[in-house]
């Protein structure tokens, strides 16, 4: 898509110097290892009425082929990534979105390639959170196209209710100014706040487009190590179970009929008296996928209170670390693979839990 922005001063983002191309990622790219509870960025507090000018900012994009047929609220949530989807649905409901000059009546409206998408936006807490902050980033690899980071536990990836500052996104905006031109500052997948390990972040729109498509096509290898309660009788298994929102508690996900397809391959690496160390390979990227799948099998992560895993072995956070990340370089095409050792807290818990 092409984009023109009239006044970025209310969002904390730089104005585009000209035409910017973008692509609306598919659902998988927005549903990978999120750093907050499901829909935490869809706060009702964001659904406010539009203020008077000059607080309203006018933006427009030309719909391109990858976005053809998508819901307009999903397309906007990608292009205007500093605004929650809930807020953007409110913008649509109030008549502030047009396609080819006609007011859009419903958030479920599907867009077509070539249409002109115009929207009036106003500041929200989430939008104002898109500001650079000097946050130390553990850079594993960097070139002009992408960053590979080793995220520490406790760092939220994306601003959301309760975490409007101090996030990885804020650090990316400070690390390289061009991140302000990208949807979600180039973030193509997320890790939960208390999950540590490897992440890839795009630095250019072509790289972001390629990485999003690779994730959607299951071409990105993501391997985790997990410490779980209980000792499995099996040495390995494939958990192929759909994941959706837990009907009893909205902040959790669960294995539910009609959920989104999800598969995790699991291998038992080591057994202790009351715990086990596992290797988990993702074949999809649903919210909290590994945590949900293992809990559903009776082996919740150590320290994962949300899914029934008690703190143990000196560990207070969930025992999950992204140890390996592999993908085809989005521009050069060569296969690249990165590895990360267990951080000190997890390594210590691993030794304590699995000693003879």
**Residue written as tokens 């000209």?**
18
User: What tokens does 278 get?
Assistant: 């596992």
Instruction: Please return the burial class of 315, using the count of CB atoms within 10 Å of its CB with bins 0-12, 13-18 and 19+.
Output: buried
Please list the active-site residues: 192
CA-wise closest residue to 224 among 175, 133, 129, 288? 288
Return the axis-axis angle of helices 72-79 and 85-93, rounded to nearest 10°.
Answer: 120
Q: Which helix (H) or strand (E) holds 82?
A: none
Contacts of 158 (CB under 8 A, 6+ apart): 34, 35, 36, 41, 167, 168, 169, 184, 187, 190
What whole-number distance in Å separates Cα of residue 164 and Cα of residue 43?
12
Residue 228 near residue 296, CB atoms below 8 Å = no
What whole-number distance in Å separates Cα of residue 319 and Cα of residue 157?
18
What whole-number distance in Å separates Cα of residue 5 and Cα of residue 60?
7
User: What tokens does 329 get?
Assistant: 């370089």
């Amino acid at each position: 898509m092409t984009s023109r922005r009239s006044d970025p001063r209310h969002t904390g983002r730089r104005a585009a110097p000209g035409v910017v191309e973008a692509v609306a990622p598919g659902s998988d790219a927005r549903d990978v290892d999120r750093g907050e509870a499901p829909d935490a960025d869809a706060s009702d507090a964001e659904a406010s009425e539009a203020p008077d000018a000059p607080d309203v900012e006018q933006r427009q994009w030309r719909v391109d082929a990858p976005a053809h047929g998508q819901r307009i609220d999903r397309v906007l949530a990608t292009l205007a990534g500093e605004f929650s989807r809930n807020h953007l649905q409110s913008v649509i409901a109030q008549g502030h979105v047009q396609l080819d000059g006609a007011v859009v009546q419903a958030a479920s409206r599907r867009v077509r390639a070539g249409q002109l998408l115009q929207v009036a936006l106003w500041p929200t807490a989430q939008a104002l959170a898109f500001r650079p902050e000097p946050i130390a980033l553990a850079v594993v690899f960097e070139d002009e196209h992408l960053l590979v980071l080793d995220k520490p536990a406790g760092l939220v990836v994306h601003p959301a209710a309760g975490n409007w500052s101090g996030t990885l996104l804020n650090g990316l905006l400070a690390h390289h100014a061009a991140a302000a031109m990208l949807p979600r500052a180039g973030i193509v997948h997320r890790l939960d706040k208390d999950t540590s390990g490897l992440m890839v972040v795009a630095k250019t729109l072509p790289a972001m487009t390629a990485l999003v498509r690779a994730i959607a096509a299951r071409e990105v290898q993501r391997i985790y190590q997990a410490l779980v309660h209980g000792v499995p009788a099996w040495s390995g298994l494939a958990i192929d179970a759909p994941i959706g929102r837990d009907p009893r508690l909205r902040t959790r996900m669960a294995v539910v009929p009609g959920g989104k397809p999800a598969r995790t391959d699991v291998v038992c690496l080591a057994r202790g008296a009351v715990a086990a160390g596992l290797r988990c390979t993702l074949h999809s990227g649903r919210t909290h996928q590994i945590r949900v799948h293992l809990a559903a099998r009776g082996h919740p992560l150590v320290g994962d209170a949300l899914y029934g895993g008690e703190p143990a072995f000196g560990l207070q956070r969930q025992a999950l670390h992204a140890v390996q990340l592999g993908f085809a370089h989005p521009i050069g095409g060569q296969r690249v693979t990165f590895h990360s050792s267990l951080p000190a807290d997890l390594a210590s818990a691993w030794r304590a839990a699995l000693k003879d």
